Structure 1
Amino acid sequence: MTSTQSAMTVRMPTLGESVEEGTITRWLKEPGDRVEAEEALLEVSTDKVDTEIPSPVGGILLKVLVSEDDVVAIGADLAVIDTEGPSSPRTPETTDGDTDLSPSLDAEGQAPGRTRPESPAPEQSESEPASPEREVTHSKATTGSRSSGESSAKGATTETQQATAEPQTSRSGAEATVSTSSAASQDNPTTVSEKLPRIRRTIAARMVESLQTAAQLTTVLEADVTSVADLRRAHKDEFYAHTGVKLSFLPFFAKAAVSALSDHRVLNASVNADVTEITYYGRVHLGIAVDSDNGLMVPVVRDAQDLDIEGLARAIADKAERVRTGKIGPDELGGGTFTLTNTGSRGALFDTPIINQPQTGILGTGAVVERIVPTRRDGALSLEVRSMAYLSISYDHRVVDGADAARFLTTIKQRLEGGFHASDLY
């Protein structure tokens, strides 16, 4: 801080690469309240993540300069804090100083009310919608940016493909109000109308945009993952003792998919808006759909092709934990080149996920279930209990043919059915 006076202006901080603005969703303090340094002051929503903004200094909040639901540019003035104020509020002073803040992503709690600003913030358009699918992340439906010459995924996708909007007040500021329709009230006195949270509105826009942009088609096949199930069962205790991370099926699916992308590059690619150019990526930045209380987000595991099962398991567990605790950074939600959504995590057998624009494909992995399956060995037919799972690939049929998608799934299937050994774990 460079100011010599006690009144400090709080500005909208940088919220991640390519993020130019944010929407004020909730003030956690009101004028007259004392706020400590690094204490949460307000919540801001972007197209990537809901972010809790901390106060850069301690003092008395003199006034707020923007309203809830205002769209505010990075660097814009948000509030004025008296850094030398007593425990009771006093009138605002002229502000000389200002400071930038870094967002805190661990948002909890309810928000009190606040006064309206003295002057409205300039009107700006809301963040540009991208793509996704039925349960996008709070990727805020995770989204993407273009960096280092790579087009990034601009949409969110699904882990279980069913994010639900809670009827109570949400963290993004939606307020439920009792319906005033007398007829509805008489027929159903519990009828409630609710404003959709901003994240759900973003998700909705991106789902529709994705479907309107690409000719999407889904191909499904079944894989026998008994060998993976046996390997996992034999080593899961040792793996947990060694890594502190549970060994699920997901890192095996991820490893098989990443390995297959090296031979099927059209699915680790992006196409430009007028479909005149396709970009093939030499590295795999793998988006993993993660469900959370705030909606589904798709954090990205960078350079997934360099990771073994242990590395993928650690990375996936870390991303999932930080999504669910609100500590994921906005820059971790962009730049993906291919996405994996574990639709089987809640028991779904398979799904038809919607691709993240401008990616060309998204893999859905279904629940692993034991079934009686006819098998033929040395010409003899028998019935065996096998661990089976469906794999689905949704792809952009403008640049990916059905045969390409089927070959990609077949490569994953072959890897899962016999390509993993104990030596692959670490």
Structure 2
Amino acid sequence: MSVSVTLPALGESVTEGTVTRWLKAEGERVEADEPLLEVSTDKVDTEIPAPASGILAAIKVAEDETVEVGAELAVIDDGTGAPAAAAAPAAEPEAAPAPAPAPAPAVEAPAAAPAPAAEAPAAAPAGGAAGTDVTLPALGESVTEGTVTRWLKEVGEEVTEDEPLLEVSTDKVDTEIPAPVSGVLLEIVVAEDETAEVGAKLAVIGAPGAAPAAAPAAAPAAAPAAAAPAPAAAAPAPAAPAAPPAPAPAAPAPAAPAPAAPAAPVAAPAPAAPAPAAAAPAPAPVTPAAPAAPAATSGDDGAYVTPLVRKLAAENSVDLGAVKGTGVGGRIRKQDVVAAAEAAKAAAAPAPAAVPAGGHAASKAPKLEVSPLRGQTVKMTRMRKVIGENMMKALHSQAQLTTVVEVDVTKLMKLRNKAKDAFAAREGVKLSPMPFYVKAAAQALKAHPVVNARINEDEGTITYFDSENIGIAVDAEKGLMTPVIKGAGDLNIAGISKKTAELAGKARGGGLTPDDMSGATFTISNTGSRGALFDTVIVPPNQAAILGIGATVKRPAVIETAEGTVIGVRDMTYLSLSYDHRLVDGADAARYLTAVKAILEAGEFEVELGL
């Protein structure tokens, strides 16, 4: 019986949808509730599941076509329709995977020729049907795709349910995807550095003990090698395992060897025993080809090592077998190799020569290491692309201007130094200068809401926020990230310290969630932590301003005292406020900065610090 797949209602005001991708091809088997296609509307991108199990008999709406709600998208033949669907492809050689089991008893000599061509596609459906698909889940409301950055398991390895299987990077977050079931990783569909849409199949996991589908990938490589002599010689090449093809009469039917392993169907058509002599040399190229693939992804001690890490290790003469990996599952990362190289150089460095009497000590300037990226051309990461797009969007959509003030933070620094030890013991986090700046910025925002606002261009309105959600720019390994401290205006110094430490740790460790990254109404960037005097920072999209914090340096300054005006050495810093001049005027920016400056210079945080 045929079952229609229709476009369901995807929202109260949604009247149509566009088919963005079919997850199954005609002739493939689908299971009830299994994702069948992806649809995009003006409200949401989602998957449409199969309403019944069976064979996808016909696709009525092609990709990129738009149809109304209720329109027929495809037809599925359930149990009774499967034979009919299989009969049609039988007429075409390349559709042989479906009818392959039916003509099992056939032993016609002519049929053996097209059979090998059909066997390669047959392996894929077999592997997919016997296992569980690993798909890219929705990682946020606006996240539509993700890039596979690293596979934590290899084909053939056993995985446990909820065990991290791969790492994925999106424009919002980097995260791990766990295995949905326990079993054996049969197939990796999306390679590292490839981008897939939400819902796309990433891999296939089979039952424990199942054979991986890696062999079919190696077979095509072996076939072209043997194809030079003649098409008949291509078949003996995969016939290296002489034992399976022993039952020559069953050769044309891939159904017989299927229980052995996914690779068996490729070896089965090879029983063309006409040329035993040709079969003997064929295994020679096949044998080294098999271990070649795993060798590229396994370290000296069996741990996963990427090509970039191997190259970096070779350039720095680092023995990977002696490096302890800090990645997931003990895998070796780039930082591990760099640390090992630096440790080796430090150990080999000669002791500094004694300074002769009356001489001068050697310069303390740090030695700059040559970066492994020097002279390289590498692929732009997704994170880098997203950062670039956001920066260009911000600069091209706002009238940006920067105002700077100088702040004397001497009292604040003394207060911090006095309280930091007791604070760390009591709160469990270090007391850095950053929470004081966040606290002062949030307090001033309450009095100057024009800086904590957003222009709604489509409506021609301005929203003045009633909460101070402050984004904190973090210099993470993969690029600039801005996790958000929600309700910063309602937190004390201890609360801000804990939240800042938590978000910074998650940003550098790749544990940020989409919620951690969204909802900022104002942003703070501390480029002074890297020694910058001040910076003309860029206002993020959908915000009115961003505060830049410069380095704190000791400088002579004029001080007003009871005894008169004196010059003293003070801790000074610059605060720069970049703002959207369409909403914030120069006077508004100056008033806001002056308020922040007054709070910091007063340094009245003794009560919050327990002093």
Q: TM-score, normalised by structure 1?
A: 0.73
Structure 1 partner of 2:135: 11
In the TM superposition, residue 419 of structure 1 has moved relative to its aligned partner by: 4.5
In 2, the alpha carbon distance for the partners of 1:78 and 1:16 equals 18
Structure 2 partner of 1:45: 169
1:19–1:46 Cα contact (<8 Å) kept: yes
Alignment of structure 1 residues 79-90 onto 2, 5 Å:
79-86=203-210, 90=261
In the TM superposition, residue 276 of structure 1 has moved relative to its aligned partner by: 1.9
2:211–2:262 Cα contact (<8 Å) kept: no
Change in CA separation of 1:322 and 1:212 when aligned onto 2, cut-off 3 Å: same
In 1, the alpha carbon distance for the partners of 2:512 and 2:432 equals 22
Q: What CA deviation, in whole Å up to 9, does each residue of 1:250-269 have, x standing for no partner? A: 10000000000001101111
* 1:58 alignment partner, one of 141, 161, 182: 182
In 2, the alpha carbon distance for the partners of 1:391 and 1:340 equals 10
In 1, the alpha carbon distance for the partners of 2:567 and 2:459 equals 49
Verify: 1:241 aligned to 2:412, yes or no.
Answer: no
Verify: 1:350 aligned to 2:534, yes or no.
Answer: yes
Gaps of 5+ in 2: 1-32, 35-128, 214-260, 264-302, 309-333, 338-373
Verify: 1:213 aligned to 2:384, yes or no.
Answer: no
Q: TM-score, normalised by structure 2?
A: 0.52
In the TM superposition, residue 73 of structure 1 has moved relative to its aligned partner by: 3.1
Verify: 1:91 aligned to 2:262, yes or no.
Answer: yes
In the TM superposition, residue 8 of structure 1 has moved relative to its aligned partner by: 0.9
Structure 2 partner of 1:22: 146
In the TM superposition, residue 343 of structure 1 has moved relative to its aligned partner by: 1.2
Structure 2 partner of 1:103: none
In the TM superposition, residue 67 of structure 1 has moved relative to its aligned partner by: 4.7
Q: What CA deviation, in whole Å up to 9, does each residue of 1:299-318 have, x standing for no partner? A: 11111111011111111011
1:28–1:111 Cα contact (<8 Å) kept: no
Alignment of structure 1 residues 13-162 onto 2, 5 Å:
13-68=137-192, 70-86=194-210, 90-91=261-262, 110-111=305-306
Higher helix share: 2
In the TM superposition, residue 282 of structure 1 has moved relative to its aligned partner by: 0.3
In the TM superposition, residue 48 of structure 1 has moved relative to its aligned partner by: 0.9
In the TM superposition, residue 424 of structure 1 has moved relative to its aligned partner by: 2.5
* 2:593 alignment partner, one of 396, 401, 409: 409
Alignment of structure 1 residues 135-284 onto 2, 5 Å:
191-274=375-458, 276-284=460-468
1:261 aligns to what SS in structure 2? Answer: helix
In 2, the alpha carbon distance for the partners of 1:112 and 1:9 equals 27
2:174–2:511 Cα contact (<8 Å) kept: no
Change in CA separation of 1:191 and 1:312 when aligned onto 2, cut-off 3 Å: closer
In 2, the alpha carbon distance for the partners of 1:6 and 1:274 equals 51
1:284–1:304 Cα contact (<8 Å) kept: yes
* 1:301 alignment partner, one of 485, 492, 501: 485
Quote the sequence identity (%): 48
Structure 2 partner of 1:175: none
How many aligned positions are there? Answer: 339
Structure 2 partner of 1:366: 550
Greater displacement, 63-72 / 397-406: 63-72
Structure 2 partner of 1:99: none
In 2, the alpha carbon distance for the partners of 1:312 and 1:52 equals 28
Q: Kindly provide the amino acid, as one letter, of the partner of residue 53 in structure 1.
A: I
1:308–1:425 Cα contact (<8 Å) kept: no
1:40–1:55 Cα contact (<8 Å) kept: yes
2:183–2:205 Cα contact (<8 Å) kept: yes
Looking at both structures, which has the greater relative contact order when contacts are Cα pairs under 8 Å and sequence separation is at least 6? 1
1:29–1:111 Cα contact (<8 Å) kept: no
Structure 1 partner of 2:51: none
Q: What CA deviation, in whole Å up to 9, does each residue of 1:278-333 have, x standing for no partner? A: 11100111111111222221111111111011111111011111211222222201
In 1, the alpha carbon distance for the partners of 2:432 and 2:443 equals 18
1:192 aligns to what SS in structure 2? Answer: coil
In the TM superposition, residue 352 of structure 1 has moved relative to its aligned partner by: 0.9
In the TM superposition, residue 86 of structure 1 has moved relative to its aligned partner by: 4.3
Gaps of 5+ in 1: 93-107, 114-165, 170-189
Whose radius of gyration is greater, 1 or 2? 2
